[in-house]
């Protein structure tokens, strides 16, 4: 038998180091509307059995009928479980008539009669109002904790506590685990945030994890934070052709499989095209590819690719289009890794870094994400090409890429140069890790075959 209590969501369990430890007291804290009740019921329905049923005890904050009515809309809610493996009970009357001692007596009875494996008290915070004296409330907590510790039962105390109370309320000291649900606000965007504040006797994944409330319950996206791990890195490195003539011409030795490349340049210069070309060239050799884009929807993308007699309907190419509106970086990253695992993609185009950056409130966090993402891809020998827009059309002075170039193996700058009554496109390799490259500014052209290298510029060429 497992010594962990599953939430039914493998991602949430992974945040909790494999699930909550069995038979502990967990405090679920958060403001109204954050999904505490949804999460508590998720645990109830995923763990209750006839032999070890779950008890859901409501106090005085929400009528039981209302809780049941809303509960029904959740996917895991199982009507046939009620009265068999899940028991709801309203403690409101006991509480009004006999106060907290009545609650203790009732819970003691229920523990004996039902022998539950899981017991939820919602709202726990409402109980505090039934004892004037702080010491008496602590005594109540002591008895309740003693009782539930003596039986093989996992407890959830659900309460609408806010930040300040977290530090002061005695129930936070008594609880073995504390999970808070809240929101983070950046500009006009709100993100739901789950945090583990405390988990006795177990490791957990600290920090802020975004989540959404869905019909299947709480859908959480553990924040990406990979520890530095040198294992596997560089194990199966090989130099290869990128398949993009313009790129191969600049990289003297070839392209390292599994390398991360930033393609920076102004709008309209052909960054997307270069990244697409990289994926398509791989697909033509039978390497699976993934195009992760925010910029072009599938119709727009097909139009662009059609111009080069490429198609996204190639079975070797997977398109992952997500709207940049209301994007959760964590959700996207999990989606991304799931897609990589599902398709076995070897080459990836991410278009663009700026869209991902906009979905992340904090620049430092963003760098951590990209670092983790690139590390994972490098370990799996997956080549990543990321596009990055620079604001200046001419005379690029700096790459506003949030330090990503530092984390990348190759940095390629595309820019416009003023020529004789026409714009010229120029490519420069600013950085390659572990191989040589041309130290030149070279002209390149976009042809029906993709991006191809042109002649070196002559000495008269203006560079701004």
Partner 1 sequence: MTRVEEQLQKSFQSDELDSDHQLGNIIDVQGADDRAGVYSIGAVAKMVDVPAQTLRSWEDRYALIVPVRSPAGQRLYTRDHVEELRFVRDHIQSGLQPADAHRLLAERRRARAADVDETAAGGRRDGLLDESPLAILLAERDPYAAEFAEYFLRTEGYVTTIVLNGDDVTRVLAGNRPDLLVIDLMISGGAGLALCRAVRAADQLPILAVSAIASGDAALEAGADAFLQKPVQPLQFVSTVRDLLGTSAFLRRTASVR
| Interacting residue ranges for partner 1, rule: CB under 8 A | 23, 51, 98-102, 104-105, 108-109, 111-113, 115, 131, 135-136, 139-140, 143, 146-147, 149-153
Residue 23 or 183: which CB sits closer to partner 1?
Answer: 23
Cα(310)–Cα(281) distance, rounded to whole angstroms?
A: 10
Residue 53 or 243: which CB sits closer to partner 1?
Answer: 53
Residue 100 or 264: which CB sits closer to partner 1?
Answer: 100
- Which are the contacts of 439, defined by CB distance < 8 A and separation ≥ 6? none
As measured in angstroms, the least distance from the Cβ of 21 to partner 1 is: 12
Residue 143 or 418: which CB sits closer to partner 1?
Answer: 143
Question: Which of helix, strand or coil describes residue 36?
Answer: helix
Residue 309: which region, alpha, beta or left (left: phi > 0; alpha: psi -120 to 50)?
left
Tokens at 172, concatenated: 């936070």
Residue 109 or 267: which CB sits closer to partner 1?
Answer: 109
As measured in angstroms, the least distance from the Cβ of 90 to partner 1 is: 15
As measured in angstroms, the least distance from the Cβ of 176 to partner 1 is: 13
Strand partners, 217: 214
Q: Are the C-beta atoms of 289 and 350 separated by less than 8 Å?
A: no
Q: Are the C-beta atoms of 370 and 257 separated by less than 8 Å?
A: no
Residue 119 or 269: which CB sits closer to partner 1?
Answer: 119
Cα(136)–Cα(426) distance, rounded to whole angstroms?
A: 77
What dihedral do alpha carbons 226, 229, 231, 236 form, nearest 10°?
A: 70
As measured in angstroms, the least distance from the Cβ of 133 to partner 1 is: 9
As measured in angstroms, the least distance from the Cβ of 48 to partner 1 is: 15
DSSP string of 94-137, one letter each residue: HHHHHHHHHHHHHHHHHHHHH--SEEEEETSGGGGGG-SSHHHH
As measured in angstroms, the least distance from the Cβ of 97 to partner 1 is: 12
């Amino acid at each position: 038998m497992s010594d962990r209590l599953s939430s039914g969501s493998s991602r949430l369990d992974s945040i909790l180091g494999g699930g909550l430890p069995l038979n502990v007291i967990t405090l679920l804290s958060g403001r109204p509307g954050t999904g505490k009740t949804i999460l508590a019921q998720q645990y109830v329905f995923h763990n209750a059995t006839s032999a070890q049923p779950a008890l859901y005890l409501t106090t005085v904050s929400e009528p039981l009928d209302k809780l049941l009515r809303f509960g029904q809309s959740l996917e895991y809610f199982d009507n046939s479980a009620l009265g068999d493996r899940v028991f709801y009970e309203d403690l409101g009357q006991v509480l009004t008539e006999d106060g907290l001692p009545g609650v203790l007596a009732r819970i003691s009875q229920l523990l004996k009669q039902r022998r539950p494996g899981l017991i939820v008290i919602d709202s726990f915070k409402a109980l505090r109002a039934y004892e004037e004296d702080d010491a008496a409330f602590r005594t109540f907590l002591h008895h309740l904790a003693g009782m539930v510790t003596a039986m093989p039962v996992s407890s959830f105390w659900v309460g609408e506590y806010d930040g300040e109370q977290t530090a002061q309320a005695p129930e936070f000291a008594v609880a073995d685990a504390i999970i808070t649900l809240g929101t983070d606000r950046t500009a006009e965007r709100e993100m739901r945030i789950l945090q583990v504040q405390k988990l006795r006797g177990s490791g957990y994944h600290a920090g802020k994890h975004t989540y959404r409330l869905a019909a299947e319950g709480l859908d959480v996206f553990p924040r990406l934070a990979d520890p530095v791990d040198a294992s596997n890195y560089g194990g199966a490195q090989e130099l290869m052709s990128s398949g993009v003539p313009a790129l191969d011409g600049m990289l003297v030795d070839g392209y390292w499989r599994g390398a991360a490349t930033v393609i920076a340049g102004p709008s309209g210069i052909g960054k997307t095209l270069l990244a697409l070309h990289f994926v398509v060239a791989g697909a033509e050799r039978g390497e699976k590819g993934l195009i992760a884009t925010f910029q072009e929807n599938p119709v727009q993308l097909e139009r662009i690719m059609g111009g080069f007699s490429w198609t996204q309907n190639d079975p070797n190419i997977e398109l992952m289009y997500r709207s940049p509106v209301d994007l959760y970086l964590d959700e996207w990253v999990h989606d991304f890794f799931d897609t990589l695992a599902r398709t076995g993609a070897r080459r990836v185009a991410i278009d663009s870094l700026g869209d991902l950056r906009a979905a992340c409130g904090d620049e430092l966090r963003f760098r951590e994400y990209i670092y983790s993402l690139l590390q994972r891809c490098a370990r799996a020998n997956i080549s990543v090409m990321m596009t990055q827009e620079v604001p200046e059309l001419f005379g690029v002075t700096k790459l506003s890429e949030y330090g990503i170039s530092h984390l990348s193996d190759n940095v390629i700058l595309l820019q416009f140069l003023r020529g004789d009554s026409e714009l010229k496109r120029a490519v420069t390799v600013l950085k390659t890790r572990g191989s040589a490259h041309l130290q030149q500014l070279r002209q390149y052209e976009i042809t029906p075959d993709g991006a191809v290298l042109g002649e070196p510029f002559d000495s008269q060429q203006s560079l701004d």
